[in-house]
Amino acid sequence: MKVFIFEYVCGGGFQGDSPSPDLLRQGREMLQAALADFSRLPDSVQVYTLIEERFAFDLPERVQGWNPDGPWHDAWLDLVRHCDAILVIAPESEGQLERLCEEVLDEDRKNLNCSLEAIRLAADKWALNRQLQTAGIPAVDTRVWAPPEPLPEQGVIKPRYGAGCEETFVLGAEPGLLALDPEDPWVWQPWVPGEAVSLSLLAGEGEVEVLSCNRIHCKNQEGQLHVQRIETGGLDGNPRFRGTAQVVASQIMAAVPGLRGYIGVDGMWQGDSLTVLEINPRLTLTYAGLSVPLAERMLRLFDCAGIPA
């Protein structure tokens, strides 16, 4: 069985351009963790990755790395066709994650990610908010907004289809707000007090396991939010939080069909309540901090055991 692990930044998605240092660091950490995890599988599983030469690092011994010396998308398709199952690590913004997963399915290969419908919904912060609230899940109020429309007194502006904290501005940061492109789709969310947290989930057919409950340390730098560090498992010892996290995770699974494999949920913890901010239908940075191997379990969730080598 051949498994292709593709990470968008290191794999060439910015070919001819330069990613931000934060994106590069996060992409490399997730890719390194995934390659280390899958390289521990039995020898019958061959692991491949695509890595641009300028971002190269020492690969695990059993991982075969390809360098996209030409157009990265051509190399991507070659490896998809060469392998049986593909795990895609890519941002949801601009439909990148959905488009790559669709190409995997078009080539009749096993997609080790969520369904296209779940990815599309999670990528749209406004649509996701409406779906969660309709299901009775505590989720942050989200409104479509475009400059120069007036803003509420307090809140956060972020891309409607963005990923992570990229271009996330705290209301009142005039330099950041003045730079916003009115042609881009934006959303406004109220500032939710509390502690920034995330959940690392492993989802199967009708069931979900909370792998870790994490603290997120953010910094407001000149009106723009940046993630400084993440404490993977930082809230695992809080039974009240873990209990709430399991309930919310199960509610999310029922509200968003097609969530499968590794999933991240970002939110705010306020005493006894967890407000959902967004869902990441893919590997997140907390995956790199987990101490338990997940590769075999992920393959089984996607019924990969019967795929011939």
Give the residue among 16, 17, 4 at the shortest CA–CA distance from 77: 4
What was the pLDDT predicted at 176? 52
Classify residue 112 by its DSSP letter.
-
How much is the pLDDT for 179?
A: 66
The torsion region of residue 276 among left (phi > 0), alpha (psi -120 to 50) and beta comes to beta
Rounded to 10°, the helix 116-123/125-134 angle is 100
pTM above 0.75, yes or no: yes
Q: Which CATH class is domain 2-113?
A: alpha beta
Residues of the chain with CATH 3.40.50.11770: 2-113
Rounded Cα distance, 195 and 307, in Å: 43
Residue 227 confidence (pLDDT): 85
Q: Determine the pLDDT at residue 276.
A: 97
pLDDT score at 94: 85
pLDDT at residue number 225: 82
In whole angstroms, what is the distance from residue 7 CA to residue 31 CA? 6
State the DSSP H helix or E strand holding residue 206, giving kind and residue range, or none if neither. none
Phi/psi at 68 (nearest 5 deg)? -75, 80
Task: Quote the pLDDT of residue 149.
Answer: 80
Residue 43 φ/ψ, nearest 5 degrees? -60, -20
Q: Give the C-alpha separation, 81 to 85, whole Å.
A: 10
From the first residue on, what is the mean pLDDT of each consecutive set of 10 residues in the chain (309 residues)?
A: 97 88 91 97 96 94 92 96 97 92 98 97 96 97 86 82 77 58 87 94 93 93 82 96 97 96 96 94 95 94 71
In the chain, the DSSP E strands lie at: 2-7, 46-50, 63-66, 85-89, 110-111, 143-145, 156-159, 169-170, 186-189, 195-204, 207-221, 224-231, 261-270, 273-280
Q: What is the pLDDT of residue 175?
A: 43
Residue 94, token pair as written in the block:
């601009």
> CATH 3.30.470.20 occupies which residues in the chain?
114-281
Cβ contact 71:85 at 8 Å: no
Given the candidates 3.30.470.20, 1.10.357.10, 3.40.640.10, 3.30.360.10, the CATH classification of the domain at 114-281 is: 3.30.470.20
